[in-house]
Structure 1
Amino acid sequence: MKKSEKVKGKEKVAARSQQYKTAGIIVAVAAIIIACIAVYFVYFAAPAVVAVGDTINVTYTGTFDNGTVFDSNAGKSPLTFTVGGGQMIPGFDAAVRGMKVNEQKNVTLTPDQAYGAYNPALVRIVPTSQLPANQTYYPGEPLGFRSSVDGSEHIVYVVNVTDAGVAIDANSPLAGQNLTFAIKIDSIQKASSASTATVTP
């Protein structure tokens, strides 16, 4: 083999070696870039916020204007519902939108955002003859009521008991009231994916 051929062979080997080194550097840089992007999304990307269609877990406490608590699930199982699904009163459903996991807020709802205005027309007297015999009723007692029109079931409340019959009220006990809710988002199940954001212990 001629000396010139030996030199050419060495040059080819050196060129290949340089190509391998360059390729290795490109792969390493690409890996670093991918790792940086992953770190960004984990630590710096905007956290998930509640939107229509999401299923969320909520801890709440509801109070009247005078501060009396009328309902709370604090220390109990979270309330789970789908935002925009018609499962909650309008004001509560609207209040959670845009909130993040572990975020807390207080919101006061007027009757039109909650259980509506009190309607006196929903109070009526059921004659004793239409009630089960030997049944005792008490003011404030809830009763299951089935509509004779569409068969739907409702809860009514005993207002008064007389010899003529029982006065019942189909208004919600919270109708006509301003209601304040302390709300905390415990988790968000996004509607667009199977990912779930949860509270950090």
Structure 2
Amino acid sequence: MTKAKVTQHDRITLAVIGKLDNGALFYEVTPQEPLVVELGDNQLPPSVETALIGMRVGETRKIRIDPDEGYGPRLKDLLHEVPRPTIEKRLKPKSGMVISQQVERDGKKCVVPATIIEVNDETVVIDYNHPLAGHHLTYELTVLAIEEPA
């Protein structure tokens, strides 16, 4: 059943554009392939969910969220300096290159992306922070459909 305004626990269909403060696009969901979420299921940051409450179909709203609510702050302890010969066994390192690294989390091995941020004569500095960590994120949300919870 279609509703007039978004309320908590509604199933909503969205188009979303996510940009950084410098205008760089980091996320886009088009009306042709929309995002469908149920408010209250923790699929969206809390501020985004709050911004959607009261919106109508066809309405667009912008919201800016802090790093703490997005991908967290940039952490210095996630920068690792590795001897260059160790890296060069696998690849020729270049600043800005994204690589896959195997790490252990909670006793399980998993692969995570990491970014090479500096290449020196002796060492390579690898950043394990999420690329969006430390950034404010601006989302432009357009409600395409609203359905009452089942």
| Residue number in structure 1 paired with 2:61 | 105
Single out whichever of 128-137 and 72-81 deviates more from structure 2: 128-137
| 2:28 pairs with 1:89 | no
2:135 maps to what in 1?
A: 177
| Residues 189 and 141 of structure 1, relative CA distance in 2, 3 Å threshold | same
Runs of 4+ residues over 6 Å off in structure 1 = 128-132
1:108-127 matched pairs, under 5 angstroms:
108-126=64-82
Partners of 2:12 and 2:127 in 1: how far apart?
33
CA displacement at 1:176 relative to structure 2: 1.6
CA-atom RMSD, angstroms?
3.1
**Conserved? CA contact 1:158–1:166, under 8 Å:** no
TM-score of the superposition, structure 1-length normalised?
Answer: 0.57
Larger strand share, 1 or 2: 2
Between the two proteins, the alignment pairs up a number of residues equal to: 147
Q: Which residue identity lines up with residue 141 of structure 1 in the other structure?
A: V
Residue pair 1:123, 1:170 contacting (<8 A) in 2 also: yes
Map 1:32-43 to 2 at 5 A. none
CA positional deviation for 1:119 = 1.2
Write the distance in 2 (CA, Å) between the matches of 1:86 and 1:101: 21
Question: Does residue 155 in structure 1 map to residue 112 in structure 2?
Answer: yes
| TM-score (structure 2 length as normaliser) | 0.72
Distance in 1 of aligned mates of 2:74 and 2:111: 16
Larger RCO: 1 or 2 (CA < 8 Å, sep 6+): 2
Q: 1:156 to 1:77 in 2, by over 3 A?
A: same
Q: Does 1:77 align with 2:36?
A: no
Structure 1: tracts of 5 or more residues without a match? 1-41, 194-201
Unaligned runs of 5+ in 2: none
Query: Residue 13 of structure 2 contacts residue 143 of structure 2 at CA under 8 Å; is this kept in 1?
Result: yes
Higher Cα radius of gyration: 1
